[in-house]
């Protein structure tokens, strides 16, 4: 009997393997192990040189249309006539509008001006409220408005202000990406949205990202996200942490409240630097040590300069790529704002903390809190 069961199991495995091998590759879930696989997926790209992403429509701007017409006036059409756009104060511009099904696979951009005052929004399918609503600097791990190299699997920031993300963002009907300039000055934006048109798996969730800020934190507890409803998985954290006191500032624990948790969470960390995959205050020989790895990092340390930059500020990221936090019904995440006082006692702090959280879920999503006003977004 046992031999018969083993034989049937082996036959079933072979049948499943053969069936899987015959499935056409949809061009998603890219990695070094499947780059050789051919696909019927269609590669497209949207930029100021091709606003629609249509085949054979790139670089067609004429000298009367392009923002760089002065530089191109001797060469003419086809010679980098419109490589960027301007966004006037108070205006919102649609960067990309795509009919699906498909998925965004890479975004590159280099916005000018104050990165807190440029608001990036993504809308999936027919939704009227965004699934992503984040200041552009924070979305790419630059919450303090200053460049710092960031080298990870999900986000890369390269010299001198090149923002890149590789989050897979599937959609079934359409995708719309906008940028709002809430600044009082005109901004210039170079950008590229690389995507593929292909079949999207039935179990694919939609990408979400939300920004929050407390300045200062009240009651030594910062809520990174709450009110998430539905089935999904949490995949990433970026925090811009400004410290307003002396000493080590990161004793606080992160807590994941999931699916009915009340007073106590299902997942509880052991300290801030531990959650970001470091240890012992990120301290090497009496100095904070910046680091970037594929999944986590202390990518930015802004040190006091003895004049106007009087406070320490930090940029940290943690991508749950290999260990997503899966939830069935709801999710809330908090992190404690704790340092040290005398005699080995914890100090409830009042730090300046901003966060971006990233997750996938089925739609519809719960409405986001209202984004802070311009003065409340300002880094000061």
Per-residue pLDDT in tens (0 to 9) along the chain, 380 residues: 556 655 656 666 555 555 555 689 999 999 999 999 999 999 999 999 999 999 999 999 999 989 999 999 999 999 999 999 999 999 999 999 999 999 999 999 999 999 999 999 999 998 999 999 999 999 999 999 999 999 999 999 999 999 999 999 999 999 999 999 999 999 999 999 999 999 999 999 999 999 999 999 999 999 999 999 999 999 999 999 999 999 999 999 999 999 999 999 999 999 999 999 999 999 999 999 999 999 999 999 999 999 998 999 999 999 999 999 999 999 999 999 999 999 999 999 999 999 999 999 999 999 999 999 999 999 98
110 beta partners: 190
Share of the chain above pLDDT 70, in %: 94
Predicted TM-score (pTM) of the model is 0.93
Count of residues for the chain? 380
DSSP state of 6: H
132-135 and 206-214 as β-strands: parallel, antiparallel, unpaired? parallel
End-to-end CA distance of the chain: 74
Token output for 90: 């108070």
User: Are the CB atoms for 192 and 107 separated by under 8 Å?
Assistant: yes
Cβ-proximal residues to 373 (8 Å cutoff; 6+ apart), any chain: none
Predicted local confidence at residue 15, as pLDDT: 57
DSSP letter, residue 70? H
Type and span of the H or E element at 21 = helix 2-22
Angle at 153 between CA 151 and CA 157, to 5 degrees: 35
Percent of the chain with pLDDT over 90: 92
- H-assigned helices in 212-337: 272-275
Euclidean distance between CA atoms 217 and 213, whole angstroms: 8
Q: How far apart are CA 151 and CA 147, in angstroms?
A: 13
């Amino acid at each position: 009997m046992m031999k018969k069961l083993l034989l049937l199991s082996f036959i079933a495995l072979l049948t499943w393997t053969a069936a899987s091998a015959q499935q056409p590759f949809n061009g998603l879930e890219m990695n070094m192990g499947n780059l050789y696989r051919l696909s019927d997926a269609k590669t497209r790209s949207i930029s100021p040189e091709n606003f629609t992403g249509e085949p054979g429509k790139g670089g067609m701007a004429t000298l009367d249309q392009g923002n760089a017409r002065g530089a191109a006036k001797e060469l003419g059409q086809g010679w980098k006539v419109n490589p960027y756009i301007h966004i006037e104060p108070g205006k919102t511009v649609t960067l990309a509008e795509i009919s699906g099904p498909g998925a965004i696979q890479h975004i590159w951009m280099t916005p000018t001006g104050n990165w807190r005052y440029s608001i990036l929004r993504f809308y999936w399918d027919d939704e009227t409220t965004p699934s992503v609503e984040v200041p552009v600097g924070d979305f790419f791990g630059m919450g303090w408005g200053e460049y710092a190299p960031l080298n990870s699997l999900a986000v890369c920031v390269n010299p001198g202000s090149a923002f890149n993300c590789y989050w897979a963002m599937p959609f079934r009907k359409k995708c719309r990406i906008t940028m709002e300039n809430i600044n009082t000055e005109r901004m210039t934006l170079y950008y590229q949205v690389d995507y593929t048109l292909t079949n999207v798996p039935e179990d694919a969730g939609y990408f979400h990202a939300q920004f929050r800020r407390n300045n200062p934190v009240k009651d030594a507890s910062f809520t990174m996200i709450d009110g998430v409803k539905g089935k999904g998985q949490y995949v990433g954290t970026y925090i811009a942490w400004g410290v307003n006191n002396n000493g080590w500032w990161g004793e606080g624990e992160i807590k994941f409240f999931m699916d009915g948790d009340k007073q106590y969470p299902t997942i509880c960390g052991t300290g801030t630097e531990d959650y970001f995959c470091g240890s012992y205050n990120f301290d090497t020989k009496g100095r904070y040590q910046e680091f970037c790895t594929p999944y986590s990092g202390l990518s930015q340390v802004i040190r006091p300069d003895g004049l106007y930059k009087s406070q320490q500020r930090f940029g940290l990221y943690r991508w749950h790529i290999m260990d997503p936090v899966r939830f069935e019904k709801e999710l809330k995440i908090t992190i404690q704002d704790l340092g040290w006082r005398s005699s080995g006692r914890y100090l409830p702090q009042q730090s300046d903390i901003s966060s971006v959280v990233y997750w996938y879920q089925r739609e519809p999503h719960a409405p986001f809190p209202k984004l802070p006003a311009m003065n409340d977004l300002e880094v000061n």
